[in-house]
Chain A
Amino acid sequence: METAMLSVENLTKTYQTVGGFWGHSRHPVTAVHEVSFSIRPGEALGLIGESGSGKSTLARLMIGLERPTRGRVFISGTDIGTLTRRTVRALRREVQIVFQNPYTALDPLMTIGASIEEPIIHFTVSSKAERQRQVSGLLHDVGLAERFSHAYPYQLSGGERQRACIARAIALRPKFLICDEVVSSLDKSVQVQVLDLLKNLKQQYGLTYLFISHDLAVVNYLCDRVAVMRRGEIVELGGRQEVLFHPSHPYTQALMAATSYFLKDISGETRRT
């Protein structure tokens, strides 16, 4: 059996909420509870769940932006909990993330070019001209014209900003990319374009995806396998066809029923899948 690109074992994250006048009433809130799964190289795993289900916390645990309360995260077989500060930095070259809201994911005071250049500056030794060449290559790869390099985020549309964020995330040629609700703040008509871009990049760069979304249609479009998360736990995990079209867990069934509510036939009847 080949090593998993990424796997998590019994991952749990508990937050302490502090309340009361003296900050005395503390009670724990479990955001992620005993989650285990693994992702094979080159695979796209979809993670479905509504807001507050813990999927964004899970993403932050997986890239080391937060530390788990319990459990372990392995990337290419390495337990990232055992890494020192320096080796965590090395991890950043392999694992990157694209955030949900392209309006807050880019520094408003930096040009798009400077934002994309940032990871290259930090991780490689290269001349200014070399970096510029890389930035224009990346812009080309994500379907943005070269002159966007000098533009500021506010001058771009949501779709264009998200493309810029993707360019920045793939600048270091990572193997694994976490997409946290990357299309949910975009117009439906722009969503497909961004998803097509991600599909192409997967081919071109041989990327592995963890694709987080609340939208079943989006996950269906891009993913090979699907996990369904609810209240911090994974309730169903399996192949795309199986989970989406023959769901076994009541929660997945409810999601699917709600989604198909909006799939009306020309005759006006609600279609059941």
Chain B
Amino acid sequence: MTQTPLLSLSDLKSYYDSAAGTIRAVDGVSLDLYAGEILGIVGESGSGKSTLSLSLLGLLDPPGRIAGGELWFQGEDLLALDESGWQNIRGKKIGMIFQSPEGSFNPISTIGQQIAEALQAHRTLSRREAEAEAEMALALVRMPQPREIFERYPFELSLGMCQRASLALALSLHPAVLIADEPTASLDIVSQAAMASLFLELQATHNLSLIIISHDLGLVRTIADRVVVMHAGKIVEEGPSDQVLEAPRHPYTQGLVSSELRLDR
């Protein structure tokens, strides 16, 4: 592939220092994300995948630290950034959504207001323009009645709806890359399927570039183009997701896949 990657990690190391010794949560991970691609990062809890996502967002707090490697985004060396530099990247150029959607919203303000405020914080927009864009963002994530959702408080939405609203919040700033850490883990199965098909739709219509971190093989198999399998801080296998998750070569991945509960087996 001659195309330059959007986001590129090489030999990234994130360590935690503790009295019991150094814990190598991410231990030399290299991967590239290309525009319009959905990349899945699969692993069990403790495999280092969440630490990796924190590192990508510059959110790794002490005692964690980046111990080595490189992290490039659109030709910019992210590891050289200070906190104010990160604030220009995080949210604006690299968006994120997390497992629990309630955490993305302030419970005492409406969904629409919060998206509009986020927009106004990053760009010079009048209140009316910001509100119009917020409503567009809600429509983008296929909210059935964007105008109505706009006026709702977070507690008035179901978890599935709330997660979709947090996706709208993340996408409203048009980030180049979206990082989703277990975005469906707290949702019911119907919302999970809806969320997955939404990701696929956004990839097709808006060329969404997504890193999806999950322990759910079914989700990753369904939406990711490529997948990396993490174990003990290292990548043990990577490749096209159909290939890796249907006919894995590494014994660890084979173990993961064979222990998956599936209705068709």
Contacts and interface: CB of A to CB of B under 8 A. Distances in A.
B196 A262 contact: yes
B261 A191 contact: yes
Interface stretch (A35-43, A68-76, A127-135, A251-259): A251-259
B218 A262 contact: yes
Interface in B43-79: 44-46
Contacts of B215: 187-189
Nearest to A266: B246
B242 A261 contact: no
Contacts of B259: 188-189, 191-193
A254 B191 CA distance: 11
Question: Which of A157, A192, A216, A262 is most buried by chain B, counting CB atoms within 10 A of its CB?
Answer: A262
Contacts, number: 87
Contacts of B246: 266
Given A220-B263, A271-B264, A189 B256 contact: yes
A243 to B, nearest CB: 12
A254 B193 CA distance: 10
Question: Which of A254, A260, A261 is most buried by chain B, counting CB atoms within 10 A of its CB?
Answer: A261
A192 B261 contact: yes
A273 B264 contact: yes
A19 interface: no
Interface residues of B, number: 30
Mostly helix, strand, loop or mixed at chain A's interface? helix
Nearest to A261: B193
B177 to A, nearest CB: 24
B192 interface: yes
Contacts of A257: 193
B264 A263 contact: yes
Interface string B243-264: 0001100000001100111111
Contacts of A254: 190
Interface in A172-192: 187-192
Interface string B159-193: 10000000000000000000000000000111011
A141 to B, nearest CB: 21
Contacts of A244: 263
A220 B259 CA distance: 15
Contacts of B256: 188-189
Nearest to A258: B193
B216 interface: yes
B219 interface: yes
A258 B263 contact: no
Interface string B210-254: 000001111101100000000000000000001000110000000
A48 B260 CA distance: 19
B226 to A, nearest CB: 14
B197 interface: yes
Interface in A7-63: 50-51
A260 B190 CA distance: 10
B44 A258 contact: no
B243 to A, nearest CB: 9
Nearest to B219: A262
Interface in A229-271: 244, 254-255, 257-264, 266, 268, 271
A266 B241 CA distance: 10
A195 B261 CA distance: 10
A259 B188 CA distance: 10
B31 to A, nearest CB: 22
Contacts of A193: 259
B45 A187 contact: yes
A268 B193 contact: no
A217 B45 CA distance: 21
B240 to A, nearest CB: 11
Question: Which of B44, B246, B261 is most buried by chain A, counting CB atoms within 10 A of its CB?
Answer: B261
A261 B261 contact: no
Contact of B190 (A188, A255, A263, A268): A255
Interface in A65-117: none
B261 A258 contact: no
Nearest to B189: A258
A255 B261 contact: no
A163 interface: no
Interface in B8-34: none
Interface of B: 44-46, 159, 188-190, 192-194, 196-197, 215-219, 221-222, 242, 246-247, 255-256, 259-264
17 contacts: A187-B45, A188-B216, A188-B217, A188-B259, A188-B261, A189-B44, A189-B260, A192-B260, A214-B189, A216-B263, A217-B262, A220-B263, A259-B263, A262-B216, A262-B219, A264-B218, A273-B264
